[in-house]
Amino acid sequence: MAFDIEMIKKVYANMAERVDKARELVGRPLTLSEKILYSHLWEKTPSQAFKRGKDYVDFAPDRVACQDATAQMALLQFMHAGKAKVAVPTTVHCDHLIQAKVDAKTDLKRAKEQSNEVFEFLSSISNKYGIGFWKPGAGIIHQVVLENYAFPGGMMIGTDSHTVNAGGLGMLAIGVGGADAVDVMSGMAWELKFPKLIGVKLTGKLSGWTAPKDVILKVAGILTVKGGTGAVVEYFGEGATSMSCTGKGTICNMGAEIGATTSTFGYDDSMSRYLRATNRADVADAADKVAAYLTGDDEVYANPEQYFDQVIEINLSELEPHLNGPFTPDLATPISKMKEEAAKNDWPLQIQVGLIGSCTNSSYEDISRSASLARQVAEKKLKTKSQFTITPGSEVVRYTIERDGFIDTFDKIGATVFANACGPCIGMWDREGAEKEERNTIVHSFNRNFSKRADGNPNTLAFVGSPELVTALAIAGDLGFNPITDKLINEDGEEVMLDEPTGNELPPKGFDAEDPGFQAPAEDGSGVKIVVSPTSERLELLAPFTPWDGQNITGAKLLIKAFGKCTTDHISMAGPWLRFRGHLDNISNNMLIGAVNAFNQKTNNVKNQLTGEYGPVPATARDYKAAGIPSIVVGDHNYGEGSSREHAAMEPRHLGVKAVLVKSFARIHETNLKKQGMLALTFANEADYDKIQENDTINFTDLKEFAPNRQLTLEFVHDDGTTDTILVNHSYNEGQIGWFVAGSALNLIAAAGAEETKA
């Protein structure tokens, strides 16, 4: 039986009435995305039609999921909410704090020793507040959610940008910051601007070397890293229904790389098969009864241009395998063009490492197709030219592929199987020689390939592809190798070609595991004590942020003017810094150390206006804070792209930054800044970015009149005494301005909890 089956049945029981009412209010057929949105309104039964991209709407998600790195801060915040138990089903998954170095057994043992304090904290706080806990080694949050919790037509939020993976099972699953999760866990509404809709019509059918991964790699090339911002991407068509459920999950997973709010597919036979294979026949049976409400209306898919804000069509029968990168996931290159592009751009052709797995591509189907290629190494007397690693997505997948002989197959080609955790995908990879910072090429089936992302080396060129293409390229050791047309020379000097990959959508013998790794919470957690040592370097109880004093911010110093791409990896790096995710002051020492200073093109090197000297960004911010001087960060387009980590918002808030002014924001980061009581502002005129000088002092002249749909005025006082006065935009509504006034959204929750307790 599925987890939370009664909750799922309740969602389905209400769906028809709510969707029918929404269809009446909107006055036309509905997309799947609209059906899920309107059936999850905080007000329950819809009473009005909402404007896409304009109206802020309160929703009631069905569940919350947190991974260990973000769960620490989310749960530290939840402790202030004054609640005895979470209001909706919630889970915590220990997947980020396991570093890949030797092999699964060795690495997991080391992680349990090094991060025992954090794991014990998460285990006990989960036990106290009624949260399901998945132990280290159980698997990556998104794969575990797909296997256990995702259900068609549901809505969930998660404290990781790749929460969207659950769209492969027909959900609207949305990545958020921890403060958003705390809202929902506390029983409050969750706010989202009603999204725009992008429809992707898939015709034809995948075959040969082309995989579901190639669909999203193609879409990323079309929409770029910001083309999906503020939108839900809905896939449909014969190509969608012909694809496996886990293949759909891969496509939705990487929707985070185009900035999409989330991505989803309509309920179909592949989802039913997957639910039944993962011991959730009860969910499949319940979904079958309301199947018409779990996909878009027929008229929508017949005439998509009338119902979506943008429509993309991809013929899967003509789609070619792609490699995207380096340094950005939207630089899409068909494999037939890679040799030419590599030569043009001087990309190193020799592949050092091929890595498959992660939350994006670790399904049974993915591994079985890669194993079919690994078997050919011995059969065709080849030798694998690159290092090769596998990261299983869950203990269920790992146990099953071991039982079915795939791990033995990989062993025979010298592969390393890492722990069931994020590992290299998030920079938790202790790669030998990375400290030399040599220019090199790797290929992987992960989702992100930003500079330094995998191994900390800024000169590692990472290319993203399907597991089967990555496996073929690792065997060849050559970035320009096209397995569709090119031959390899075997140990006997003969020319051979790799046969097309083959595999099973689901394991013929079923999924299995001796211990999936789940720990159920106590029925009554009131007696559980949460202890955080005051001398801990890993965990720190939070103190509330200070409310706004009602005055204009004046005399603020420019902390950094960031140049070009500034993702949450640049703002708050992962890798070795993950160990401080539960300690705000310690992790603040990585604030913006990866951002490029526009004035000297260096990282972690800014001018301290108090001393006139150049130094690290965090140290400079601490100097301003100690002197009682506010500071401001300026940035470029799509600022805060990437992971949902709210540390990228909490760190500046902690170190005295009052406002972040940029050309445009990534959705999650803008919300995170608002939640922490900061000013998230955009240039009314993007050219004003160029007016900002290194020694500027900034004054707000009309912050006292802060109101929705009203621009703010900022005065930049330059070194020579001249000034530039500019207008800036914001997207705050009344409620969000309340977060700013209170000092943070959490301060409001805590105040409400205190009033509730008194009553």
Tens-digit pLDDT profile for residues 731-742: 999 999 999 999
Q: Phi and psi dihedrals of 11, rounded to 5? A: -60, -45
Q: Binning pLDDT at 50, 70 and 90, where does residue 578 land?
A: confident
Instruction: Please give the pLDDT value at position 359.
Output: 95
Q: Which one of 4, 62, 107, 160 is the catalytic residue? A: 160
The single-letter code of the amino acid at 644 is S
Q: What is the mean pLDDT of residues 508-522?
A: 97
Q: Which one of 18, 93, 645, 669 is the catalytic residue? A: 645
**Pairing between strand 332-334 and 322-324?**
antiparallel
CA-based nearest residue to 353, from 385, 326, 376, 382? 385
Instruction: Please give the pLDDT value at position 215.
Output: 98
CA-based nearest residue to 93, from 69, 114, 58? 69
Question: Among this protein's residues, is 654 annotated catalytic?
Answer: no
- Does the pLDDT of residue 9 top 70, yes or no? yes
- pLDDT tens column, 332-341: 999 999 999 9
Question: Among this protein's residues, is 645 annotated catalytic?
Answer: yes
- pLDDT tens column, 305-353: 999 999 999 999 999 999 999 999 999 999 999 999 999 999 999 999 9
Q: Binning pLDDT at 50, 70 and 90, where does residue 754 land?
A: low
First to last CA, the chain: 39
Alpha-helical regions (H) of 130-266: 141-148, 178-185, 212-223, 238-241, 245-253
Question: Among this protein's residues, is 160 annotated catalytic?
Answer: yes
Q: Which one of 18, 80, 369, 448 is the catalytic residue? A: 448
Question: Among this protein's residues, is 96 annotated catalytic?
Answer: yes
Model confidence pTM above 0.75: yes
Strand-pairing partners, residue 336, are none
Instruction: Please give the pLDDT value at position 645.
Output: 84
- pLDDT tens column, 449-475: 989 999 999 999 999 999 999 999 999
CA 248 from chain center: how many Å? Answer: 16
- pLDDT tens column, 376-393: 999 999 999 999 999 999
Instruction: Please give the pLDDT value at position 570.
Output: 95
- Does the pLDDT of residue 164 top 90, yes or no? yes
Q: What is the mean pLDDT of residues 429-444?
A: 96
Q: Binning pLDDT at 50, 70 and 90, where does residue 643 land?
A: confident
Cα–Cα dist 343/698, whole Å: 47
CA-based nearest residue to 603, from 571, 639, 568? 571
As given in the structure block, the two tokens for residue 635 are 């940035």
Instruction: Please give the pLDDT value at position 618.
Output: 98
- pLDDT tens column, 485-497: 999 999 999 999 9
Instruction: Please give the pLDDT value at position 260.
Output: 96
Q: Which one of 62, 68, 95, 569 is the catalytic residue? A: 95
- Does the pLDDT of residue 703 top 90, yes or no? yes
C-alpha dist (Å) from residue 120 to 8, 47, 110, 114, 530 = 30, 46, 15, 12, 10
CA-based nearest residue to 35, from 293, 417, 337, 380? 293
Instruction: Please give the pLDDT value at position 759.
Output: 53
Question: Among this protein's residues, is 95 annotated catalytic?
Answer: yes
Q: Which one of 96, 369, 667, 669 is the catalytic residue? A: 96
- Does the pLDDT of residue 576 top 90, yes or no? no
